[in-house]
Structure 1
Amino acid sequence: AVRGVKITVGPPFFNKVNIPIGLFLLFLTGVGPLIAWRKASRANLRRAFLVPILVSLATLPLFLLGGIRDPYALMTFVLSVFVTVTIVMEFYKGVLARRKMVGEPWLVALLHLVRRNKRRYGGYIVHFGVVLVFVGLAGAAFNVSKDASLQKGETIEIRDYTLTYQGLTETEEPHYSAVIADVELSKGGRKVATLHPEKRFYHRRPNEPTSEVAIHSTLRDDVYLVLAGWNEGKAIFKVYLNPLVQWLWIGGYILALGTVIAMFPDSRRVEATLRRS
């Protein structure tokens, strides 16, 4: 504004700034349970942090052997292990203490523990949901895409998947006509799905076709197939492979569940209120 020069920033700038901030917040998500409910003395902190740090560092070689080289993704996965271990430890310690006091079975002790401390353990569930969301976001580091112009019977490979073009069909619906591609999706030589991406032409706007994306989703990755066009017996496709997308949704659901649990008052407070009344 001072020099009269317009400056724009794009995704690389936001990734450079926001990803480190996000990783720091993820780290704090794991640190919080370790220090919020006890005195932060050196001895206590050493005991609290020792197991999560050792376990998370032990997984680092496994991630490297799995082919993960992106530094931000690697840090995300290691920190996710760190936070998950802290959450599991808090649940384990709480259940163990209740079993010693009451002698309940593990599952019953867990349910009663959460019921009597909804805000605390609901918060831990929220933390775990956040971990899964970060795992899903880290998958973006491994996104790949390809364009292909295929004749009937030709294939395109993207990572572990093979897509075989089987032909086009035309259909007429009340409000639109469509051209539909039939594409076989296989993995390791085994058919896993048949994808049907479409190009639709609505009667009211025939010059503005829309693409209906075909999706194959698993916990590991999502395959998106777009029919971009066709010409001289060939179909033109755009293929996207996005890993770990489902973990974003799962993390969101778990986060919402933890929020609902934390919203309700602890049963101990309800019982105390009833006694006073």
Structure 2
Amino acid sequence: MARLGTSPEPSHAGGDPSAPQHVAIIMDGNGRWAKARGLPRTAGHERGVEALRRTVEAAGDLGIRYLTVFSFSTENWRRPAAEVNTLFGLLKAYVQRDLSRLQQDGVRVRVIGQREGLPPDIAELVDRAERETATNSKFHLTIAFNYGARNEILRATQVYARAIAAGEVTGELTDAGFEQYLDTKDLPDPDLVIRTSGEYRISNFLLWQAAYAELLFVDVLWPDFNKSHLESAISRYHERERRFGAVTPGAT
């Protein structure tokens, strides 16, 4: 990665200064990538981690400041236990191998999702990654792990209800107020959501936050995703007209 830690704000040198601030990616296609090559699904997940490393580096180079990736959903518990354990192991290996480099590059790591039910060693590692990078601000990597948007909204509602019952909050609930109970309370909403593998759905990912995001579905399988694909996505993003419910000036 081009060093992100040389200035208070991320450098856009060599990148696009008008790049979307926040890109979110549904990393899909690991299993199909492996099947097409006669390999076990675990091989696809391993190559998917390599694609994540490439994408984090590319995002920093291209002027993106926030990157959120969907790594493990609350529905993924339905997969075979061996595959679930592999996904846990890959998250653990990624953090253990890359944390010092991410820290050096000024990357803040967040992991959103439900912590209950995670193996103790994974939960401890997640806490460590967040704790050790908490003061970084040059690039923000958020990993959605054991995450589902409906679950997130439900958990936020439960916390808010308890706060009401305890008399901790009063007054009318607003969008901005409710967002303070979401896992992403410290993050801007995504400008662009990308899903790889050619599937046309967002699969319970950032349902609240992506209300006005541009959605892009690409045919490439996640293990093959690279900087050129991200550059193409940004180019297509710039072709969109973002009105946020308003009317384009001059339109009739």
TM-score w.r.t. the length of structure 2 is: 0.24
Greater RCO (CA < 8 Å, at least 6 residues apart): 2
Q: Kindly name which structure, 1 or 2, has the bigger radius of gyration based on alpha carbons.
A: 1
TM-score w.r.t. the length of structure 1 is: 0.23
- Normalized per residue, the structure richer in helix is 1
- Normalized per residue, the structure richer in strand is 1
